Amino acid sequence: MKTKLKLKKTFIIYAPGVYTGGGLILLKSIINSFPKNIPLILFLDKKVLNLFDFPKNSQIYSAKKSLFSRLFLEYKLFSIVKKNDTILTFTSLPPLFKLSGHVICYHQNSILLQKTTHRIFSKKKELLFIIKRTFSYICKMNVQEYIVQTPSMKKNLKKFYGDRIKVRILPFVSRSPVLNFKKKKDGFVYISDGNDHKNHNNLLDAWSLLGKFKIKPKLFLTLDKNNKNLLSKINNLCLYENLKINNLGQVPHSKVFKIYESSQALIFPSFYESFGLPLIEATQAKLPIIASDLEYVHDVCNPNEIFDPKSPYSIMLAVKRFLNKPQSKIKIIKKNFFIKVKTLNEKDFLKKLGIQ
């Protein structure tokens, strides 16, 4: 009697291009907690190979950030996948080829779900997003189900791809460390890279407006050295307007909570987020939050103050409210003022108004 061979299931994580930000943090949490009894195949960017403690049962393929390397990895993925395998794509994009296994796409890029973002990004970047949006829509049939972390992402995903796609909300974060709440609180912090949609320019303009009111709170940023324009702007604001803006550089995630411990509040002006991991972390750290009045924010936290991210003035007002320094209001002229001046001649009327 013939017996059927039981195929051994393999879990494949496809994540080339994930080497920074919240995506990398969540990827690390998955790999570090992956079960030891399940075979694991990883497709990763070469930049992150030294950041992981890989499970003993894992097999790793890596590539540089280039079109040829990505195409090679796509073909390699297609060639090794078996029928019972599960594939988790961590790039927010579907596979290029129809795969034999069960494909799950973890979608963490809300920018790809917008019709256009040309007012925020350069023409070159927007063209790249158009190509990715087109590709993701054409190849959506290569995905069996999508995973997102918030209700607004699910809504936007179905609006972009259509109601027929299967979408599950599955929020996950790494555990927060024990915090020292006795530390002195000083300044505002924005944990973020310098991508255009993170909205650093409007935040810096808001700090400049605060300075004109003689309000100069400390602001801590985490920009790497490649953000030359932003770093130059920060240097000019500090030099010529005497603002207190400190760039900490790219901070390892293990040190982020230490920054939260000593901060007054998290300020978060980003235009687009699929999850907004710092908002979750700030909530875990019991740190007050001042953030954009957008869906992704209200999905994950209850901010202490909100603002219009497109307006530096609105951001400035939110910070003033948080600091209990509300904006002074205009004085309303009493209606009987005009009754009194009716009897005055033109010269006396102008004098009454303080014009002459």
Domain(s) labelled CATH 3.40.50.2000 in the chain stretch across 11-169, 188-322
Average pLDDT estimate for 87-97: 94
Q: pLDDT higher for 213 or 342?
A: 213
- Portion of the chain with pLDDT greater than 70, in percent: 86
- The crossing angle, in degrees rounded to 10, of helices 21-32 and 277-284 is 70
User: Of 287, 290, 288, 286, nearest to 320 (Cα)?
Assistant: 290
The tokens for 55 are 């499970």
Kindly report whether the global pTM for this prediction surpasses the value 0.85: no
pLDDT digits (tens, 9 = 90+) for 99-143: 999 999 999 889 888 887 777 888 888 899 899 999 999 999 999
Asked whether residue 173 carries a pLDDT value surpassing 80, the answer given is no
pLDDT digits (tens, 9 = 90+) for 2-50: 434 344 588 999 999 888 777 888 888 888 888 888 889 999 988 888 8
| CATH top class, domain 11-169 | alpha beta
* Structure confidence at residue 3 (pLDDT): 39
Q: pLDDT higher for 206 or 179?
A: 206
Asked whether residue 338 carries a pLDDT value surpassing 70, the answer given is no
* Structure confidence at residue 333 (pLDDT): 59
Asked whether residue 95 carries a pLDDT value surpassing 80, the answer given is yes
At CA 300, angle to CA 296 and CA 303, rounded to 5?
Answer: 90
Buried b (16+ CB within 10 A) or exposed e, 43-56: bbbeebeeeeeebe
Determine the Cα–Cα distance for residues 207 and 70; give it in Å rounded to an integer. 41
The CATH topology of domain 188-322 is Rossmann fold (3.40.50)
pLDDT digits (tens, 9 = 90+) for 296-321: 999 999 999 999 999 999 999 999 99
Average pLDDT estimate for 49-73: 85
* Structure confidence at residue 241 (pLDDT): 96
